[in-house]
Amino acid sequence: EVQLLESGGGLVQPGGSLRLSCSASGFTFSSYAMSWVRQAPGKGLEWVSAVAGSSTFYADSVKGRFTISRDNSKNTLYLQMNSLRAEDTALYSCAKGPTGSWVGLEYWGQGTLVTVSS
């Protein structure tokens, strides 16, 4: 059974940093593209970032501030978030890509809440 468990969320001041983790199990982690998606309270979904093979991709809204990475030996995906802004406040979820596709979001975690506020 595919399981994705996010952690690392919390309250941070504007301009601060936070690192999110996504612990994966139930599949061969290194073989799949992985993504981060966020949803602000009461708002729609926003794609944040993805890693596929050695390539990384970012939404314009986070480019230069967020860094996605993975440790295949630990089956863990990360999102380093710097220079955080109030508009980054959201539930952050990690997602596994579908088999045979370098894009897409097949399985989702339940998310970790990030609140940026003074």
Partner 1 sequence: QTVVTQEPSLTVSPGGTVTLTCASSSGIVTSGYYPNWFQQKPGQAPRPLIYSTNNKHSWTPARFSGSLLGVKAALTLSGVQPEDEAEYYCLLYYNGAGIFGGGTKLTVL
**Interface with partner 1 by CB under 8 A: which residues?**
35, 37, 44-47, 50, 52, 55, 57-60, 93, 98, 101-111
For the chain, the straight-line distance linking the first and the last C-alpha, in angstroms and rounded, comes to 40
User: Radius of gyration over alpha carbons of the chain, in Å?
Assistant: 13
User: In the bound complex, what is the minimum distance in angstroms from residue 5's beta carbon to partner 1?
Assistant: 13
User: In the bound complex, what is the minimum distance in angstroms from residue 77's beta carbon to partner 1?
Assistant: 16
d(CA 12, CA 77): 21
Tell me whether residue 31 or residue 118 sits nearer to partner 1 (CB atom): 31
- Chain length of the chain: 118
User: Can you spell out the DSSP letters for 77-99?
Assistant: EEEEE-S--GGG-EEEEEEEPPT
**Residues 6 or more apart from 100 whose CB is under 8 A from it?**
none
Tell me whether residue 86 or residue 103 sits nearer to partner 1 (CB atom): 103
User: In the bound complex, what is the minimum distance in angstroms from residue 105's beta carbon to partner 1?
Assistant: 6
Tell me whether residue 74 or residue 87 sits nearer to partner 1 (CB atom): 87
Tell me whether residue 12 or residue 36 sits nearer to partner 1 (CB atom): 36
